[in-house]
Structure formats: C-alpha cells, structure tokens
C-alpha cells in the first residue's frame, strides 16, 4: 500500500507499508532520498556523524572578504560565484553548496546539493514525474537539451576602483591671478584687526568675541528667556512682543477685521559734545533730544502713527536742541509740541477684502499718506525725516528671473528740504522707486523730480545700485555699488547742481570672529545734489563712515565734509565685538581729496565705543582727530546716553 501527501514544511512524502520516502526539491534539481525509520537510535547517531563533520568543514572553509580583497579575478568574474555553468558540461555543485535538510519529525537528513542563489544562477527544467531514488545523492545533474543558457554576468564590485595619482595633470585654477592678488590686498587690510582687538582687551579688561573651532563637549541646558522690555504704554489687548491669544477683533463695514491696540514708545538722547574745528563754530555743549511716538495698530497691515520731538525745533536750515551752551554760557531752549510725524499706512486689499474674496485680482497695494520719514538709495538720493507725502507700493511681483519686485510711487507737496538742508515751500516732488531681487543681487533703480519756482530751481535725479554677496578663495564679501546723477532743468544753484556720484561699500567678516571690516569709497564729479535732505542729514556722503556722519544731536557736525562736490575719498573701518556682543568698538581711518584744486583735502582718525548698560540704556563714546589742508589739527569728543522705551 502506497500513498502521498505534503508535509507542513512543503516537502512531498510517500508512505509505503512501514517506511517513508521523502522527495527533496532544491533550486529546480529533484533529488530523492530514501530513509527508513526502522533503524535503532544509536544507528541514527552514527549516520548523522558525517553530516556534523560536513557542517563543521563548511563553516571553517567559508571565505572572509575584507576591505583589501578584490572579489574579481583576472578575467573580471567574481570568485564569489562558485557555480560554473556552460552549454557543454553538466551542472556541478561545489561542496560549499551542500545544505542540510530537516524533516517534520525533527530528523536531520544528509546534506543536499543546491545551486548558488547568486543572480547568475540559471533556471533548470524539472520533470513533474520525479522518481524516488533510495540510495545516494547524485553529484552531477544533467540539464535537458532544450534549456537555453546565457552568459554569467559578473558580480558588481562594492569597492571603488583604485586611482593612481598622476602629478603631471595640472589642477584647475579656481580664480584668476587678479582675483588672488585682490584677496592678498584684502588680507593686508585685515592685518591691523587682531592687534587692535588685543589692545582694547588689555586696556578695558574685556574679552574679544571669537568663534571657537572645537565643539564644546559639555551639555548646554535650555536657557531662560530674557524678560520682555516694556514700552512706555501698551494696551493689554496686544502687548509689544508678548505671547498670548489674539483678540477676536471687530469687523468694519468693508469686511476687514481690526484689532485696535495702542503703543507709546520712543528714544531719549542726551550728550556732552566738544568739537574744535579751528573756526568760529567751535562747540562745547550739553544737548538733549526726545523722539516720542504713539502708534495705533488696527491690524497687521494698518496703523496710525503720530510723533513729536518736544526738545528740538527746526530753525531755518538747522535744528536747535534744548540744553546748555558751555562755551558761551547760555541756556538753549527749544521746547515745542509741534507734530513732526503723522501718517496712516495700510494695504488696499486687506482693507477691502470683499472686493477680492479669493485673492485673485492682485489688489494688494500698500499705501501711506501724511507726514513721514523717507529715505532711498541708503540716503544718497533722498533722506528726509519730515516730509508730507503720499505713497503707493506694489510688492511681490516676480517672473523671468525676478524673485521679487517692489515699486513705489511717491508724491510730496510740503516740508521738502533741498540739498543744502534749506526748506523750499514752493517745491513738489514726484518719484518712482523700485527694488528688484534676483538670484545674485538686489537692484535699485530710482528716479525723482523736484519742481520748484523758487530760487532753488528744479532738479531731476536718477540712481542705479546693486547690492550683492560673492565668494572668494578665502572669504565671503558684501558689496554695494551706487551710480547717481543730478540734472538741473533750469539754472544751476546750490540746491540744484549738475553732477554724478559713484559710491561703493565693501565689507567682510574675518574668520573665527563676529567682527566686520569695511572699506567705503566715493567719487563726486562736479556738483551732485540730492533731491531732498533734512536739516540733520548733512550731505549725501554721510554713509561713507563714522567720520563723515553727523551725530544728529546738538551742533556736533561731521569731522569730515559730507558734501559731494568735486572730491574723492574713502574710509577704512574695523568694527569689533567684546563681552558677548554687549560692547562694540569701531576704529576708522578716513580721508578726502578735492579734484578742483581748491585745497580742501582732509584726513581723520576716530574711534567709537558702545556699551549696552541694560535692556533700555546705551552708552556711546566718540573721539576723533582731524587735519584739514588749510587748518590745524581739529580734535573732537562726545559722550552720549540713549534710553529706548
């Protein structure tokens, strides 16, 4: 009696009388092994002894592949594939391919040959009617003639090919000789930075802030959030920089949601100034200034701002400050309650959201109207702290390589001061100012026209500038280049002159520091004049450096002239940080040379020290020594305290 069935491990079994035959299938090769379980237990142990020896030999002989072994032989075929199949020879299994078999009853059978599981193993046709072989295991299995054999692809090498260095191959040059020479010049300019930092650290006993290369192996716990600085007055509905829930707000008839909140803030400045300019305008004074603002926030885009400056007052082309004239021994009284700032700004699309509920009509036009400060081209073209104007701005325009384009139209009708800082009641200003962001630069193209029937005359001004960062061999650099021109449409005056101005700013941060080194240059051709300049803004060249800028407090003027008339000049500065960025020191060397032979060349050296006393108070100390070609040495110093609230 004989019958067949499948065991739980997938092996076909045939039972006849008192014995069992098991058909074992491995990789398409059918092998029949006959085993009778009528033997004694000790005979089973003796029979399994060769199996254990084979397993031990298999484990001991397994090759170990290391990083220095190349698994490919000279023919390019990996020796890891130990099965060789050809069309003219039978399939021969290597000893390493013998695998043990375990039946359902837990009996370990002798090893069964199996073809390697490498991807190159070929499928072998099987006969469905497999015969039972009761003795031995075949060493060779004949392949049917109908089987199509393919070439054995090599096993991919997990290691990269060895590359031999060839010194005859020239390395590609990353920069030209001119670029390398320019960076060497920059390294020379950077040379004094470290000695100056050591001098300041030694004199003041403070640590220079530097970036430490090694990583700190000590864990840094979560730091406490510093207390929020309080404004002079703020409503509980929406405090300044506070956390919490936003108010529900009120819906106005246009459909906008407004959340009114009032902030009152400002800046108080007081200083002792000394300036000996070798003329009748020497200064020794105590001056004060208070800028007080109230801001009514209606939403994230709409606000109403009002501001007063009760401690200084405009008087012609200058402003007088409350304080005391120590040189002449008199009190300076400039108290007033004149409104210096009053404007409203908002976004048309946010105020009237029902006109475009799906935000598809591009109605997001920003605007402002009223008395407001205004500055373009970093103050070179226009720099007013008080001007009555209306502006309309279109933002977030993009496409054709433009990441963002912002265009602002301006019309001003009152409080316009001309290039000589004198007010011009008859002047009106109209201008178009654009800012374009590209992948490599920010480009500003501006045009402004001042129409005036007064003696100051009318003026057309144009400007083009680019601000960008670029990478050199040793560092990353910041640069800006401005080209400006002024063209009088009628007669040429002190407020409307014909001329051009080339202005450049260049800066970088030395390695392993937070410091900044800057080199600013200018070339004024003929008489360049700005479209509008406030009384405290001085001339167009105030951005050149600390020695060209006025303090904006008292009668302490700029050590070097900031007028852009027939002159070339430059400033080299070192801005350094100490004591965890709470202290700052600026060293600057600057000079200018006239180009019209009027003998007005000048050179100056100065230093500025700033220290944050707490969250509200700041101390500033300035000192300089200047030499003009037609005058003697001019020293100057000032001590200022600022309070921001």
Predicted pLDDT of residue 270: 96
Write out the two tokens for 426.
């008859």
Q: 37 and 15 in contact (C-beta within 8 Å)? A: no
CA nearest to 111, candidates 123, 125, 121, 97: 97
Instruction: Quote the CA–CA distance of 340 and 263 in Å, as a whole number.
Output: 17
Predicted pLDDT of residue 8: 46
- Give tens-digit pLDDT for 386-445: 999 999 999 888 888 899 999 999 999 999 999 888 899 999 999 999 999 999 899 999
CA nearest to 304, candidates 362, 262, 366: 262
* Residue 357: CB atoms within 10 Å: 9
Predicted pLDDT of residue 214: 65
Instruction: Quote the CA–CA distance of 106 and 101 in Å, as a whole number.
Output: 10
Predicted pLDDT of residue 501: 95
Q: 540 and 379 in contact (C-beta within 8 Å)? A: yes
Task: Supply the Cα-derived Rg of the chain in whole angstroms.
Answer: 43
Predicted pLDDT of residue 239: 85
pLDDT bin (cut points 50, 70, 90) of residue 339 is very high
Write out the two tokens for 525.
């051709």
In this model, does residue 157 exceed pLDDT 90? Answer: no
Q: 432 and 444 in contact (C-beta within 8 Å)? A: no
* Weakest mean pLDDT among 103-112, 244-253, 421-430, 616-625: 103-112
Q: Which residue has the higher pLDDT, 227 or 351?
A: 351
Q: Which residue has the higher pLDDT, 433 or 137?
A: 433
pLDDT bin (cut points 50, 70, 90) of residue 564 is very high
Predicted pLDDT of residue 182: 80
Q: Which residue has the higher pLDDT, 154 or 614?
A: 614
Concatenated DSSP letters of 61-88: T-----TT---B-TTS-BTT------SS
What separation in angstroms does the CA of 81 have from each of 61, 97, 112, 119, 152? 15, 11, 19, 9, 10
Residue 47 three-state SS: helix
- The pLDDT > 70 percentage for the chain reads 74
CA nearest to 102, candidates 196, 33, 193: 33
Predicted pLDDT of residue 597: 82
pLDDT bin (cut points 50, 70, 90) of residue 23 is very low
* Weakest mean pLDDT among 162-176, 218-232, 293-307, 511-525: 162-176
In this model, does residue 204 exceed pLDDT 90? Answer: no
**H-only helix segments in 231-364:** 348-351
* Weakest mean pLDDT among 10-19, 203-212, 551-560: 10-19
* Residue 602: CB atoms within 10 Å: 22
Predicted pLDDT of residue 328: 87
Instruction: Quote the CA–CA distance of 598 and 587 in Å, as a whole number.
Output: 29
In this model, does residue 486 exceed pLDDT 80? Answer: yes
In this model, does residue 198 exceed pLDDT 90? Answer: no
Check residue 379 and report its DSSP letter.
G
In this model, does residue 78 exceed pLDDT 80? Answer: no
What separation in angstroms does the CA of 546 have from each of 314, 319, 561, 622? 24, 21, 12, 9
- Give tens-digit pLDDT for 494-524: 889 999 999 999 999 988 888 999 999 999 9
CA angle 514, 191, 542 (to 5 degrees): 65
Instruction: Quote the CA–CA distance of 101 and 108 in Å, as a whole number.
Output: 6
Predicted pLDDT of residue 240: 85
Write out the two tokens for 403.
């990441």
Predicted pLDDT of residue 48: 60
Concatenated DSSP letters of 607-631: EEEEEE-SSSEEEEEEEEEEEETTS
* Residue 342: CB atoms within 10 Å: 15
Instruction: Quote the CA–CA distance of 195 and 200 in Å, as a whole number.
Output: 9
Q: 368 and 392 in contact (C-beta within 8 Å)? A: no
Q: 524 and 565 in contact (C-beta within 8 Å)? A: yes
Instruction: Quote the CA–CA distance of 506 and 277 in Å, as a whole number.
Output: 30
pLDDT bin (cut points 50, 70, 90) of residue 212 is low
In this model, does residue 205 exceed pLDDT 80? Answer: yes
- Give tens-digit pLDDT for 364-386: 899 999 999 999 999 999 999 99
Write out the two tokens for 126.
């099987």
3-state secondary structure 450-508: EECCCCCCCEEEEEEEEEEEEECCCCEEEEEEEEEEEEECCCCCCCCCCEEEEEEEEEE
The length of the chain in residues reads 645
CA nearest to 341, candidates 299, 310, 377, 301: 310
Instruction: Quote the CA–CA distance of 312 and 597 in Å, as a whole number.
Output: 38
Predicted pLDDT of residue 175: 61
Predicted pLDDT of residue 187: 85
Predicted pLDDT of residue 503: 97
Instruction: Quote the CA–CA distance of 555 and 88 in Å, as a whole number.
Output: 107
Average pLDDT over residues 309-334: 89
In this model, does residue 120 exceed pLDDT 50? Answer: no
Write out the two tokens for 200.
């300041």
Q: How many angstroms from the chain centroid is the CA of residue 184?
A: 26
The CATH fold of domain 233-644: Porin (2.40.160)
Predicted pLDDT of residue 310: 94
Burial bucket for residue 323 (CB in 10 Å: 0-12, 13-18, 19+): buried
The residues spanned by each domain of the chain are 2-62+77-141, 233-644
Which pTM was predicted? 0.70
Contacts of 594 (CB under 8 A, 6+ apart): 566, 567, 600, 601
Q: 190 and 509 in contact (C-beta within 8 Å)? A: no
Q: 420 and 391 in contact (C-beta within 8 Å)? A: no
Check residue 513 and report its DSSP letter.
B
Predicted pLDDT of residue 506: 95
Predicted pLDDT of residue 361: 82
CA nearest to 376, candidates 537, 567, 556: 537
Predicted pLDDT of residue 213: 59
In this model, does residue 139 exceed pLDDT 70? Answer: no
Predicted pLDDT of residue 483: 97
Contacts of 310 (CB under 8 A, 6+ apart): 290, 292, 335, 336, 337
Instruction: Quote the CA–CA distance of 112 and 137 in Å, as a whole number.
Output: 7
The mean pLDDT of the chain is 79
């Amino acid at each position: 009696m004989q019958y067949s069935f499948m065991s739980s491990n997938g092996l076909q079994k045939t039972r006849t009388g008192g014995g069992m035959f098991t058909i074992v299938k491995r990789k398409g090769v059918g092998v029949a092994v006959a085993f009778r379980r009528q033997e004694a237990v000790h005979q089973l142990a003796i029979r399994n002894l060769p199996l254990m020896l084979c397993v031990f030999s298999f484990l001991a002989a397994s090759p170990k592949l290391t990083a220095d072994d190349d698994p490919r032989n000279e023919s390019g075929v990996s020796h890891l594939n130990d099965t060789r199949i050809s069309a003219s020879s039978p399939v021969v299994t290597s000893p390493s391919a013998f695998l043990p078999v375990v039946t359902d009853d837990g009996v370990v059978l002798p090893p069964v040959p199996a073809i390697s599981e490498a991807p190159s193993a070929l499928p072998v046709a099987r006969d469905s009617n497999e015969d039972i072989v009761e003795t031995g295991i075949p060493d060779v299995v004949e392949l049917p003639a109908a089987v199509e054999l393919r070439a054995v692809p090599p096993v991919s090498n997990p290691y990269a090919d060895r590359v031999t260095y060839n010194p005859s191959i020239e390395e590609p040059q990353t920069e030209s000789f001119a670029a390398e020479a320019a960076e060497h010049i920059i390294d020379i300019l950077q040379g004094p930075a470290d000695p100056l930092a050591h001098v300041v650290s030694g004199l003041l006993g403070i640590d220079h802030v530097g970036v430490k290369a090694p990583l700190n192996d000590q864990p840094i716990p979560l730091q406490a959030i510093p207390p929020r600085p309080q404004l002079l007055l703020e409503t509980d509905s929406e405090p300044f920089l506070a956390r919490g829930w936003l108010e529900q707000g009120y819906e106005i008839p246009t459909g906008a949601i407004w959340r009114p909140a009032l902030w009152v803030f400002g800046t108080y400045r007081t200083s002792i100034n000394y300036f000996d300019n070798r003329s009748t305008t020497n200064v020794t004074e105590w001056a004060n200034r208070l800028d007080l603002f109230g801001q009514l926030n209606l939403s994230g885009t709409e606000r109403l701002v009002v501001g007063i400056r009760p401690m200084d007052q405009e008087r012609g082309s200058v402003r007088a400050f409350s304080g005391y004239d120590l040189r002449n021994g008199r009190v300076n009284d400039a108290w007033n309650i004149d409104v210096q700032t009053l404007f409203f700004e908002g976004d048309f699309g946010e105020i009237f959201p029902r006109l475009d509920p799906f935000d598809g009509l591009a109605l997001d036009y920003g605007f402002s109207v009223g008395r407001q400060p205004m500055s373009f081209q970093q103050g070179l073209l226009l720099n007013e702290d008080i001007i009555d104007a209306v502006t309309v701005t279109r933002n977030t325009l993009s496409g054709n390589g433009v990441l963002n384009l912002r265009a602002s139209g301006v019309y001003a009708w009152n409080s316009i001061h001309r290039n000589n800082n004198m007010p011009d009641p008859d002047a009106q200003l109209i201008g178009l100012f654009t800012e374009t962001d590209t992948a490599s630069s920010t480009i500003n193209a501006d045009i402004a026209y001042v129409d005036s029937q007064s003696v100051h005359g009318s003026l057309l001004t144009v400007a083009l500038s680019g601000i960008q960062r670029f990478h050199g061999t040793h560092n990353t650099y910041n640069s800006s280049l401005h080209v400006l021109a002024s063209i009088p449409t009628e007669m040429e005056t002190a407020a409307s002159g014909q001329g051009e101005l080339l202005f450049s700013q260049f800066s970088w941060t030395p390695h392993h520091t937070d410091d900044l080194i800057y080199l600013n240059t200018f070339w004024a051709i003929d008489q360049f004049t700005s479209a509008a300049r406030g009384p405290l803004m001085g001339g167009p060249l105030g951005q050149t450096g600390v020695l060209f800028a006025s303090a904006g407090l008292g009668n302490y003027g700029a050590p070097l002239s900031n007028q852009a008339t027939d002159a070339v000049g430059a400033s080299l500065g070192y801005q350094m940080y100490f004591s965890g960025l709470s202290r700052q020191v600026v060293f600057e060397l600057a000079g200018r040379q006239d180009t019209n032979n009027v003998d007005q060349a000048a050179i100056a050296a100065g230093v500025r020290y700033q220290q944050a006393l707490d969250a509200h108070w700041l101390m500033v100390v300035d000192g300089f020594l200047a030499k003009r070609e037609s005058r003697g040495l001019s020293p100057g110093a000032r001590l200022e305290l600022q309070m921001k609230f």
